Amino acid sequence: MGHFISRWFIMSVAVAVTVLLLPGLQVVGHPPVLGIVAFALFMALINASIKPLTHLIALPFSVLSFGIVALVINWLFMRLASWLAISLFDVGVTVNGFWWSVLASLIISIISGIVSAIIGD
């Protein structure tokens, strides 16, 4: 459980930086920190539970399409996390389109790697 909480914290930091950098992501709700934390919670839950299995099943299609299927799956998971956070908690982060999602997932990956290295997770 402690590992999940640290991953959630790392995801929250990464999402916060990404929201500050990209105009295609908007925080819904007040205070904005709650929207970021709620979105990061669902992203961490999705990344820990269904994302590995989905990417494994879609691997042949992803190889044939040179990674386009993986980008679409990431976009769908960001949409799902956004929808869950907003519908359950009335706070969250909205992603305005596919390419903003692609950029956001790249930045989130880089930032979460840096934060993980800093805190030693």
61 has pLDDT over 90: no
Q: 33 pLDDT exceeds 90?
A: yes
Residues ≥6 apart with Cβ < 8 Å to 11: 40, 43, 44, 47, 108, 112
Neighbours of 58 (CB within 10 A): 15
CA neighbours closer than 13 Å in the CB half-sphere of residue 85: 29
First to last CA, the chain: 13
Residue 63 confidence (pLDDT): 86
Query: Is residue 20 very low, low, confident or very high in pLDDT (cuts 50, 70, 90)?
Result: very high
Q: Given this model, what pLDDT does residue 68 score?
A: 87
- Tokens representing 93 are 């982060």
The stretch 24-43 carries a mean pLDDT of: 94
> Quick check: 51 pLDDT over 90?
no
Average pLDDT over residues 81-94: 95
> Region 101-105: what's the mean pLDDT?
91
DSSP 8-state symbol, 45: H
User: Mean pLDDT, to the nearest integer, of 27-43?
Assistant: 94
